[in-house]
Amino acid sequence: MDLERILFSQGFGTRRQCRGIVADARVRVAGALCTDPDADFPLTAPLDFEVDGQPWRYREKAYLALNKPAGYECSRDPQHHLSVFHLLPPQLTTRGVQCVGRLDQDTTGLLLLSDDGAFVYAFTSPKRKVPKVYLATTRHPLDEAQLAALVEGVLLHGESKPSAALAAVRRDDHLLELSVVEGKYHQVKRMVAAAGNRVEKLHRERIGGFALPATLAAGAWCWLDEAELAALRRE
């Protein structure tokens, strides 16, 4: 693939802008300066390049994990807070990454993003029943009756069928680990309320078999490699 198209595919601007970036001697490929936008590079092996000194690796599709902090909306057109896309390099938003599902603005933790439509669908479709694990800090102490109700199923306001958790574990008196497969609006908060308690803080810890890396700081993001993508698909 020629260098102009490589930069374009990675979100560095329009085709014309990418051609200008190369012609202006702002690109190095494998450490070597390249000023020919038509220079061809094989994509059979990892291709590393730099634009204005910023290192980048060619990726056909983008798969990301973000440790979402509170106070950010999972929208490109936020209403009351900053968008989570403010936490990403502009190249990623330019190439069209989108949130794989959403977290409320006050909910923290694991958020996936991708520009792969099939991947987004696979992890948001109700048919897939991908388990998601949340940590909920509750206002009132947890008791066995609440845990049992969450697993047996609680009826949410406006719903005709009960919603049940895969598992409900009390980590301490006010910390609930809840595993769910549905993705209804405010589901965890509504389920806990229906069981007789209230969520004060909510954090998503895991999707499928992939847990939020302990080393990923709030507001930081990372690429997902093949092993991590495989872990996501493990339930």
**Which residue spans within 58-174 are E strands per DSSP?**
63-68, 72-73, 82-83, 98-99, 108-114, 132-138, 167-172
**104 is annotated as an active-site residue:** yes
Q: Report d(CA 111, CA 210) in Å as an integer.
A: 11
Q: Which residues contact 32 (CB under 8 A, 6 or more apart)?
A: none
Structure tokens at 222: 């990372």
Q: Which residues contact 164 (CB under 8 A, 6 or more apart)?
A: 150, 151, 152, 153, 154
Classify the C-alpha dihedral 109-111-125-211 as positive or negative: negative
Q: Report d(CA 44, CA 183) in Å as an integer.
A: 38
For helices 144-152 and 187-194, the axis angle rounded to 10 degrees is 120
Own/partner pairs, 161-167, CB within 8 angstroms, 24+ separation = 163/187, 163/190, 163/191, 165/191, 166/131
How many CB atoms within 10 Å of residue 196? 13
C-alpha angle 124-126-132 in degrees, rounded to nearest 5: 65
Q: Which of 2, 104, 106, 116 is catalytic?
A: 104
Coil, strand or helix at 86: helix
User: What residues are annotated to the active site?
Assistant: 104
